[in-house]
C-alpha cells in the first residue's frame, strides 16, 4: 500500500518534469564490420593519447549533443587535463576542449591510432 502511494507520488512528480531521455540507443558506426573488434573507450586514453572515435553508446538525444560538440564517429579525440582524481577529463576534439565525466567517456568507443599526438 505504502509502496503504491510512493509510486503514485513519483508519477505525479514525473508529470512536472520532462523525463530526461528515452532508452532508445543510437549506434553510429563508420565501418560496421570492424566495430566490435575494439572495445577501448575514451576512459582508456591517458593524457596526450589520441584515438579515433568509433561510436557513441548513448541515447539518441545525448549522442546528438555530443556530436554537435564535435564527437563524431571518425573524429580524432585527444585526452587532455583532468580534474584532480582523473574525473572529469577534458578532451580535445574538432578544435574545442570539452569536459566529460568518466561515466560518459566510457560510452564513447574508440579505435586507437598508432601515434599518440602531442
Partner 1 sequence: MSECSDCRSCTTDPLGDTPAPGARPKAVALIGPPNSGKTTLFNRLTGLRQKVANFPGVTVEQHSGIAELPDGRTARIIDLPGVYSLSPRSEDERVAHDVLTGARPGTAKPEAILLVLDSTNLRRHLMLAAPILSLGVPTLVILNMADDLRSRGGHLDTSALASQLGAPVALISARQGEGMEQVWEFLAGAMPMPEPTELPVLHDVPKCRQWAGRVGGEAGYHPPAPPQWTRRLDAVFLHPIGGPLVFAAVVLLVFQTIFSYAKPLMDGVTWGFETSGNWFASQVPWPVLRSLVEVVWVKGAGSVIVFLPQVLLLYMFIGILEDSGYLARAALIADRTMARVGLQGKSFIPLLSAYACAVPAIMATRTIENKRDRFATILIAPFMTCSARLPVYLLIIAAFIPDRPLLGAFLSMQTAAMLGLYLLGFVAAVGTARILKSSILKSGHTPFLLEMPSYRWPTFRSIGLRLLDRGKVFLRRVGTVILVVTAILFVLTKLPLVHGEAPPIESSLAGTIGRTIEPVIRPLGFNWKIGIGLITSLASRETIISSLGSIYGMDQSNKAGLRQALRRDLTPGGALALLIFFAFAMQCVSTIAVVRRETGGWKWPALQFAYMSVLAYAGAFAAFHIVG
**By the criterion CB under 8 A, which residues form the site for partner 1?**
13, 16-18, 20-21, 28, 58, 61-62, 64-70, 72-74, 80-85, 87-88, 90, 92, 94-101, 103-104
Q: How far apart are CB 102 and partner 1 at their closest, in Å?
A: 10
Q: Where are the alpha helices (DSSP H) in the chain?
A: 2-16, 60-68, 102-105
Q: How far apart are CB 52 and partner 1 at their closest, in Å?
A: 14
Residue 40 or residue 83: which is nearer to partner 1 going by CB?
A: 83
d(CA 81, CA 113): 20
Given phi > 0 = left and psi -120 to 50 = alpha, else beta, which region is 53?
Answer: beta
Amino acid at each position: 500500500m505504502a509502496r503504491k502511494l510512493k509510486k503514485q507520488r513519483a508519477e505525479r512528480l514525473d508529470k512536472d518534469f520532462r523525463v530526461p531521455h528515452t532508452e532508445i540507443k543510437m549506434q553510429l558506426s563508420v565501418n560496421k564490420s570492424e566495430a566490435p573488434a575494439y572495445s577501448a573507450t575514451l576512459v582508456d586514453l591517458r593524457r596526450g593519447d589520441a584515438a579515433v572515435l568509433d561510436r557513441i553508446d548513448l541515447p539518441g538525444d545525448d549522442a546528438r549533443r555530443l556530436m554537435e560538440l564535435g564527437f563524431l564517429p571518425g573524429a580524432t579525440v585527444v585526452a587532455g587535463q583532468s580534474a584532480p582524481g582523473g574525473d572529469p577529463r577534458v578532451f580535445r576534439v574538432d578544435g574545442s576542449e570539452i569536459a566529460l565525466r568518466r561515466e560518459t567517456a566510457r560510452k564513447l568507443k574508440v579505435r586507437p591510432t598508432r601515434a599518440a599526438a602531442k
